[in-house]
Amino acid sequence: MKKIWTYLLWSLTISSYGQNFEFPPISKEANTIQDFSPRGWFVSDSIQGDLNKDNLLDQVFIIKKRDSVTVKDNNGDEYLIQPRVIGIAFKNASNKYKLIETNKRLLTDYNFPPTYDDPFNLMTIEKGVLTIEFSFDYINGNFYFYTYKFRFQKGQFSLIGADAQYVTRRTMDFEKSSYNFLTKKWSLTIGTHTNQDPPKLTEETKWFDLNVDKAKTFKTMDRPGTWPVSKESRL
């Protein structure tokens, strides 16, 4: 896991910036998802699905500031970013949307050169579970992937599962850690390609007990790779 750990330390350094930007308030109720956007913001992405088992189509949406703002990281370096917020809204019987939760930290706001892609990949809703995926493919020519799964239970969106994966671009060897916060177990899979022609994939998976003092929720999740969920890796 040394490769993942090295990357994650790098991620911690560049992904956090000082609190010199104040997010505007977001309406608690709206007729449409667009109405949740404060002045100067817009909905950049959204999906719908039943998240609380009432047979109504709820919405998960991303609002983004139209204009860039200058922020400073912990080293004092300045960056231009367009802040974003993820929101979850339940639809009610009156066909209005009630804002349930927001997260202002999960979406990374790096200052990307034109050749780098936004690490936010996609979000989906299936069987009441909200899945959010991220991919990083610009560090030392290798790939890093994060997947988070949230489910509404006990009045909040709890993190029920997550994956973190590192892939070497040249060999496509990989290390993947998968966490199940319901069973309190996690696995580490290490795979490699042999020198055979054609190459053959071999992999080994080991399981461990998952000891987490306090489980994460949608509201408390930070940027990918910044939560030390175990001694071996971060989420």
What is the extent of the structural domain holding 156?
2-209
Residue 18 lies in a domain: yes
Rounded mean pLDDT, 26-30: 96
| pLDDT above 60: residue 6 | no
Asked whether residue 125 carries a pLDDT value surpassing 70, the answer given is yes
Confidence of residue 109 (pLDDT cuts 50, 70, 90): low
* Token reading at 156: 């909040």
- Rounded to whole angstroms, the Cα distance separating 6 from 54 reads 44
Structural domain contains residue 225: no
Considering the domain boundaries, does residue 135 fall inside one?
yes
Q: Is 217 domain-assigned? A: no
Mean pLDDT across 8-18 = 41
**Nearest C-alpha neighbor of 152 from the set 58, 41, 34, 33:** 58
User: Which letter does DSSP use for residue 103 in this model?
Assistant: E
Among the ranges given (2-6, 159-163, 202-206, 212-216), the one the predictor scored with the smallest mean pLDDT: 2-6
Whether residue 181 is contained in a domain is answered as: yes
Question: Does some domain include residue 230?
Answer: no
In a domain, 220, yes or no: no
Of 80, 77, 99, 78, the residue nearest 88 (C-alpha): 99
Which residues in 37-184 belong to E strands, given as ranges? 41-49, 58-65, 69-72, 78-81, 84-91, 97-103, 120-126, 129-139, 142-153, 156-167, 174-180
State the pLDDT at residue 233: 76
When pLDDT is averaged across residues 164-185 and rounded to a whole number, the result is: 89
- 196-235 pLDDT tens trace: 777 778 889 999 999 888 889 999 999 898 898 877 678 8
Say what percent of the chain tops pLDDT 90: 56
Q: Is the separation of the CB atoms in 175 and 189 below 8 Å?
A: yes
What pLDDT does residue 5 have? 39
d(CA 106, CA 95): 28
Tokens for 192, please give them. 């490699």
Q: Which two tokens stand for residue 10?
A: 């790098």
Q: How far is it, in rounded angstroms, from Cα 111 to Cα 208?
A: 37
Q: What is the pLDDT of residues 60-102, one digit of tens each?
A: 999 999 998 887 767 777 778 889 999 999 999 999 999 999 9
In this structure, is residue 179 part of a structural domain?
A: yes
Which class for 198: exposed (0-12), middle (13-18), buried (19 or more C-beta within 10 A)? exposed
Phi, psi torsion values for 56, nearest 5 degrees: -115, 150
pLDDT at 140: 61
Structure tokens at 44: 């950049």
Q: What is the pLDDT of residue 110?
A: 55
* β-strand pairing of 97-103 with 156-167: unpaired
User: Looking at the 3D structure of the chain, how many domains does it have?
Assistant: 1
- 73/177: higher pLDDT: 177
Section 52-61 average pLDDT: 97
Mean pLDDT computed over 161-172:
87
| Residue 108 confidence (pLDDT) | 66
